Amino acid sequence: MSKGRVLAAMSGGVDSSVAAALLRDDGYEVIGAMMRFWPDAKRVSTFDSCCSPDAAYEARRVADHLGLPFYLLDYRDVFEENIIQPFVAEYAAGRTPNPCVLCNSKVKFDHLVKKALMLGCDFVATGHYVQRLEGATGPEFHRGSDPRKDQTYFLWGTPRDALERVLFPVGHMEKPAVRELARGYGLITAEKPESQDICFVPGTIQSYLGERLTPKAGEVVDLRGKVVGEHEGAQFYTLGQKKGMKLFQTHLERFVVRIDTATNRVVVGSKEDCYTTTLTAVGANLLVDELPELVNAQIRYRTASVPARVTAVTPESFSVELLEPQFAVTPGQSVVLYDGARLLGGGFIRTDAVRSPPFEHAQVAKSGSSYR
């Protein structure tokens, strides 16, 4: 007997291909599906990314090879409203978004789960490197077994009522083993390289934003308000950045510490000025009834989590004190909370996150910085 019907989200990559194959072999009734995001005006430079026209062709071939039905679902309007428009708006506001977070929380594990239920499916499966484990109070998300591939950071926004509907067949595996399985299955995606680009951005983010926003040159100022250079558009910068500005004194190393869209100014300082020990997150989604006082907090995907103390929690936000100061805690990015390997939830780092550099003024003065 079937273990249930699964809508397998297939991106045209090796991970989702193997996930579908494993579910089939494990006794599930598997239906392959890809969400169409790309517009009618296709751009060749996006064809090698995930969820692109070429990827859809490869996903269909994998489904055919595995003997699975396959459907291309039109999600263009959903993607435009929930991903592209917020992406552009965040940059316009001086923040740096991560669209993959919204794609998972608003599209894959919200709209797609609801679509799966409408189609009579019991589950949605993806190729994420995440483990869904049964806990004392129900399903829990835990880090993937491969620390280099763990993707729980992107899944903090998953609605709690969707936890029991999501399967991650490769979450307990390491990438080389997944590729070896793909070769054993004879899948055309077995050697396909990983896509590192934002799927809907052809070329650079700067050129993409330049087509949708009106960049305006402005002043680069130091922390005292002194003009020290020029920029080509505040939306093109992010915290911690030190390139791309026309500075009058190029011998000093300067980093972006704040973006003031109201005055169209980019504020720069020393590297020490970019460190943060406290922050507040909004748009919070918690996967537990109550956060422990001590957690591990991760402020970006490729940064290790650090110990943190939860100092305040509301239904929509939380604040934490980072016990190890972090460089360039960036508004618009996510701060994700863990208890060991278990994903507890997360939120979007707020623009007015409190900046508390851990360095004494005397230490900075000795370093030769001119920004205090």
Provide DSSP, 237-274.
--TT--SS-EES-TTS--EEEEEETTTTEEEEE-GGGG
Alpha-carbon distances of 2 from 24, 28, 29, 137, 205, rounded to whole Å? 10, 5, 6, 26, 45
Q: Which residue has the tokens 């939380």?
A: 318
The letter for the amino acid at 17 is: S
Dist. CA 219–CA 95, nearest whole Å: 18
Q: Which of left, alpha, beta for 30 (phi over 0: left; psi -120 to 50: alpha)?
A: beta
Bridge partners of residue 132, in order along the sequence: 141
How far is CA 113 from its chain centroid? 19
d(CA 157, CA 347): 8
Residue 210 is inside which H or E element, if any? helix 205-212
Rg (CA), the chain: 22
Catalytic residue among 100, 103, 121, 274: 103
- What whole-number distance in Å separates Cα of residue 87 and Cα of residue 144? 27
Q: Is 121 a catalytic residue?
A: no
Catalytic residue among 50, 121, 199, 274: 199
Give residue 23's identity as a one-letter amino acid code: L
Structure tokens of 148? 């280099």
Query: Which has the closest alpha carbon to 349: 337, 325, 365, 331?
Result: 331
> Hunting for tokens 């923040």 — which residue is that?
95
SS3 category, 337: strand
Strand-pairing partners, residue 321, are 278, 309
Question: What is the rounded distance in angstroms from the CA atom of residue 298 to the CA atom of residue 361?
Answer: 27
Q: At what angle do helices 14-25 and 53-66 cross, to 10 degrees?
A: 20
Q: Can you read off the two tokens belonging to residue 84?
A: 């592209």
**Residues noted as catalytic:** 103, 199
